[in-house]
Structure 1
Amino acid sequence: MVSRKASHSVFSVHLHFVFVTKYRRKTITTQILERLQEIFANICIKTKCRLIEFSGEIDHVHLLIDFHQDNNLSVLVGSLKSASSRIIQKKFSEHLSTFYGKTVFWSSSYYVASTGGAPIEKIKQYIQAQEVPNE
């Protein structure tokens, strides 16, 4: 991966995120997964980040993000989760109402790790190997 430059720095920060659905419910379909990828990519663009890789399974998603140093990690996570939850709940409300009684989608927790210890290609292969829902 190529380093990026800011006014007084050169940086390369790649983060692997995992978001799980509330109560680990198996709510993610192929359509939801595709829409989540669009939402996350748009948020990354707005925050000067880059969505490098994305995939998921029926109860969680993985994101590999080229993180821009101007961001606050917890604020970025909040933006990714709140915007995606709001949009997904609106578009797929009928489907989600069979799983949740109120407006929830993501668990409040998340996983994040720097990918500096593993080659980015290995992380990308791991994310690509997720068992995508076939509904």
Structure 2
Amino acid sequence: MTDAMLTRCEEIMRKVCADFEAELKQFNGEDDHVHLLVHYPPKVQLSKLVNSLKGVSARMLRKEYDSHVRRHLWGGHFWSGSYFAGSCGGAPPTAVKQYIENQKRPV
């Protein structure tokens, strides 16, 4: 992903989070993945939130950046089928935010 694509991806994911009454606290990424810090209510099923984040962003980014995206798809898929989710209840939120901020975002 390019910097412009990551900026658009963040906008899309903020909207998806808002639809789930969640808050995207921190976002950054590199050319092939993103990191999110999300605060979501207990009533939200994490798998459904992630599915929506990935599905909506894939559809919109493929539509808006089709010529770039087509060259870099994994077997026709925008995102891989997996994801990592971890709780940061024990870590200070500032440490997690700093980790996300320090990703090597493409220029």
RMSD: 1.3
1:103-118 to structure 2, matched below 5 A, reads 103-118=76-91
User: Does 2:31 align with 1:63?
Assistant: no
* Shift in Å, 1:99: 2.1
Match of 2:23 in 1: 50
Aligned to 2:86, the other structure's residue is in SS state strand
Q: C-alpha separation between the residues in 2 aligned to 1:123 and 1:97?
A: 32
Q: C-alpha separation between the residues in 1 aligned to 2:31 and 2:69?
A: 13
Match of 1:85 in 2: 58
* Shift in Å, 1:116: 1.0
Larger Rg: 1
CA contact (8 A) 2:26 2:36 kept: yes
User: Does 2:2 align with 1:29?
Assistant: yes
Q: C-alpha separation between the residues in 2 aligned to 1:91 and 1:103?
A: 16
Q: Normalised by the size of structure 1, how large is the TM-score?
A: 0.76
Give the letter for the 2:25 counterpart.
Answer: I
User: Does 2:68 align with 1:95?
Assistant: yes
Match of 1:13 in 2: none
Higher helix content, 1 or 2: 2
Higher strand content, 1 or 2: 1
* Shift in Å, 1:113: 0.1
Match of 1:128 in 2: 101
Aligned positions, number: 107
Percent of aligned pairs with the same amino acid: 40
Unmatched runs of 5 consecutive residues or more in structure 2: none
Match of 2:13 in 1: 40
1:13-24 to structure 2, matched below 5 A, reads none
Unmatched runs of 5 consecutive residues or more in structure 1: 1-27
